[in-house]
Amino acid sequence: MANDKKFVEEITAMNVDFAKWYTDVVKKADLADYTSVKGCMIIRPLGYAIWENIQVELDRRFKETGHENVYLPLFIPEGLLNKEKEHVEGFAPEVAWVTHGGEEELTERLCVRPTSETLFCQHYANIIGSYRDLPKLYNQWANVVRWEKTTRPFLRTTEFLWQEGHTAHATYAEAQEETLRMLDVYADFCQDFLAIPVIKGQKTDKEKFAGAVATYTIESLMHDGQALQTGTTHNFGDNFAKAFNIRYLDQDNTHQYVFQTSWGVTTRLIGALIMVHGDDSGLVLPPKVAPTQLVIIPIASHKGGVLEKATDIYHQLNDLVRVKIDSSDKNPGWKFSEHEMRGVPLRLEIGPKDIEKGQVVLVRRDNREKIIVALSEIKTRVPEILEDIQKSLLAKALSHREAHTSIANSLEQIKESLDKNPGFVKTMWCNEKACEEKVKEEAKATSRCIPFEQENLDTKCAICGKPAKTMIVWGRAY
């Protein structure tokens, strides 16, 4: 048992140092490793398997809403990037440049894509000519590079994986409908598939995407009370279309500019999974996203019939859930700790005594409840328990968010709430940028979003006392 304990003792406790706990889980659960390039990471098999499950599920949802996958180049010529001034200024500090091809200096620098708006715009200008060509509903799965000053695996890295949707429409109303539709897709995915509750809302003008008319977001709360922007969608209006001359002939044979959107989520979702559901024993994965949903641990597998019975159970469940047998020669306690560390939602123990009694022992990862189940009932009970774990993790995360959401009526109350009960703080706001900047300066918090679900908390702005125009959510964020 000493060795079993040591496996978990290598993780720093959450309440001692949350940042160190996070890093320990990433490394110990074999999600990622560091490289010789600062800010870049190796995504290890478990981490990448989680990303694959995220990718497959989102891709299915995108295709159900009519989107097609494409792939655009990694490099963007400097002249093309400079076509949309506001967009370029927003990304300038993070851009990585290629100046040489082999030993030859390039006549024009190439940007390693931080995002692909300009490439999509150039492409759309070439392929859109008529109203019959619209809408264009495209998505690409790709990697991007942003030269971050401070990095942390999955949360903020120099290179990361993502999907970026880029669409073109005939009218502003259609673009707006698309922008909100995809926000709903993200919100439903996070809550249904990842068991992460989100707040949907609009970003302030100060926080919106460079070049966008409006940016919308889903915001989630981590275990330490820090906020995480989990996904965003952007309505570009015709800003990019005018810069890139993307026009179409309407039914009256008149040239019109298209209206565009973009939207994306990244491997940061894996960081969110860790920080929303993890505990002091490591990763806790919701069953829907877990690469392995059930691990079978044979107890005393050297004894006759145990491994055979474990294999029989595997074949019974293989078509129902993602299942593995751990038949390694490690002792059972070590295996328990290892699979707990890796977040496997459900463990099945089977030994000689269980075979005699015609039963198995199921152990839930989320609450460690042990459940005795008859061998004849495992095909029914295992999927039922996995479904309950999924629902329980969402309920637990929602309860945590509610317990760490405060209401404030002054700047002092905002600061006090964030210091004493880290989380979201709701206030009324006058919509003035000066108040937003004051909160950032004095409370070290940013506006997370203007929620779609508004509440009338007061008649005055909590920061300046002027008449309030909207309710806003503040938070300290990753």
Paired residues of 141 in beta bridges: 163
In this structure, what token pair is assigned to residue 10?
């290598």
Specify the pLDDT at position 312. Answer: 97
Average pLDDT over residues 142-166: 95
**What are the backbone angles phi and psi of residue 82, rounded to the nearest 5°?**
-75, -5
* Cβ–Cβ under 8 Å, residues 448 and 222: no
Mark residue 452 as left, alpha or beta (left: phi above 0; alpha: psi -120 to 50; beta: remaining): alpha
Q: How confident is the model at residue 8 (pLDDT cuts 50, 70, 90)?
A: low
Q: Is residue 310 within 8 Å of residue 298, measured between CB atoms?
A: yes
pLDDT in tens, 231-260: 999 999 999 999 999 999 999 999 999 999
Give residue limits of the domains in the chain. Answer: 2-277, 294-389, 405-475
For 290-329, the DSSP string reads: -S-SEEEEESSTTSTTHHHHHHHHHHHHTTTS-EEE--SS
Question: CA gyration radius for the chain?
Answer: 25
Question: How high is the pLDDT of residue 22?
Answer: 98
Q: Going edge to edge, which strands form the sheet with 370-374?
A: 323-325, 294-298, 346-350, 359-364, 370-374
Of 3.40.50.620, 3.40.50.800, 3.30.110.30, 3.40.630.30, the CATH number of 405-475 is 3.30.110.30
Asked if the model's pLDDT at residue 6 lies above 70, the reply is no
Percent of the chain at pLDDT > 90 equals: 92
CATH topology of domain 294-389: Rossmann fold (3.40.50)
**Structure confidence by residue, pLDDT tens digits, 315-352:** 999 999 999 999 998 999 999 999 999 999 999 999 99
Cis peptide before 135 (omega within 30 of 0): yes
Residue 69: both structure tokens together = 């996958």
pTM for this one? 0.95
Average of pLDDT values for 385-400?
98
CATH hierarchy code of domain 2-277? 3.30.930.10
| Distance separating alpha carbons of residues 418 and 366, to the nearest angstrom | 28
* The 3-state secondary structure of 29-40, one letter per residue: CCCEEECCCCCC
Please say if the pLDDT value at position 85 is more than 80.
no
- The span from the CA of 123 to the CA of 48, in Å, is 31
CA distance 404 to 421: 6
Question: Tens digit of pLDDT for each residue in 305-318?
Answer: 899 999 999 999 99
Q: Which of 81, 83, 86, 85 is nearest to 205 (CA)?
A: 86
**49 burial level (CB within 10 Å; 0-12, 13-18, 19+):** middle
Rounded to whole angstroms, how far apart are CA atoms 330 and 249? 69
